[in-house]
Amino acid sequence: PGKKVLIVYAHQEPKSFNGSLLKIAVEELTKQGCSVTVSDLYAMQFEPRATRNDIVGHLHNPEAFNYGVETWEAYKRGGLSKDLVEEQKKVQEADLLIFQFPLFWFSMPAILKGWMDRVLVQGFAYDLSKAYDGGLLQDKLSLFSFTTGGGQEMYSNEGIGGDIRYVLWPMQHGIMHFCGVKVLNPHICYAPERVSEEKRKEMLTAWTQRLKTLWKEEPIDCSPEWYFK
């Protein structure tokens, strides 16, 4: 109760299974007394491209554009574009970040990757010597909640898709852990488009149930062992 949650949501269709998962999270967390904010990336027509437009006013080095350097400098002087400042404010205030999306090509949809690329700039999310356990977004939790196209048997050590944890490494470790954010167990709904209506309902109920005790969960040990045994 009183906790702040930011849900970054990347699906085009409110009636989709991802849309239902979002709705459940908003309802259940609100019911708990949390304050919930949603960044609905497609509805916002969120810009995924990292370009010069992200810097308001002059460039640090107009001779050769370096996105990392320019956004870092712009962050320090308060010169990032408005859409980024707004997202950073939401992140700053949040105790928990939930990412809700369909797995696209073993990763996030580009629109969500663009949110990571553009919002989590140096100075805000990490700094030269402040990364991983020293990252700037400590005391926050994150949770990757996603659907897959392939079934669970595909994403196993025996399956051709390999252990599902392999695809979590860049997202959970490479991004969240890098910024100092702790990582809760992912929430994965396998192939909702290929199962029965009954099974889909079970999956939705399981999400509601998990959210009820979410704040009691311990973060995972986000080290190579968790991902690759």
Element at 75 (helix H, strand E): helix 67-76
Give the residue with the Cβ less far from a second copy, 64 or 221: 64
Shortest Cβ distance from residue 192 to a second copy (Å)?
Answer: 11
Residue 51 contacts residue 21 (beta carbons within 8 Å):
no
Residue 39 contacts residue 46 (beta carbons within 8 Å):
yes
Q: Which residues bind a second copy (CB under 8 A)?
A: 12-13, 15-16, 42, 45-46, 48-52, 63-68, 104-111, 113-114, 116-118, 120, 132, 149, 157, 160-162, 166-167, 169-171, 173-175, 178, 193, 224, 227-228
Shortest Cβ distance from residue 75 to a second copy (Å)?
Answer: 16
Of 34, 64, 53, 46, the residue nearest 10 (C-alpha)? 46
Give the residue with the Cβ less far from a second copy, 162 or 185: 162
Cα separation, 96 vs 38, in Å, equals 12
Of 180, 2, 30, the residue nearest 93 (C-alpha)? 2
Of 21, 128, 28, the residue nearest 72 (C-alpha)? 128
Shortest Cβ distance from residue 121 to a second copy (Å)?
Answer: 11
Q: Which residue has the tokens 């904010």?
A: 37
Shortest Cβ distance from residue 104 to a second copy (Å)?
Answer: 5
Give the residue with the Cβ less far from a second copy, 78 or 224: 224
Shortest Cβ distance from residue 212 to a second copy (Å)?
Answer: 28
Give the residue with the Cβ less far from a second copy, 91 or 120: 120
Element at 102 (helix H, strand E): strand 96-102
Give the residue with the Cβ less far from a second copy, 12 or 32: 12
Cα separation, 8 vs 12, in Å, equals 13
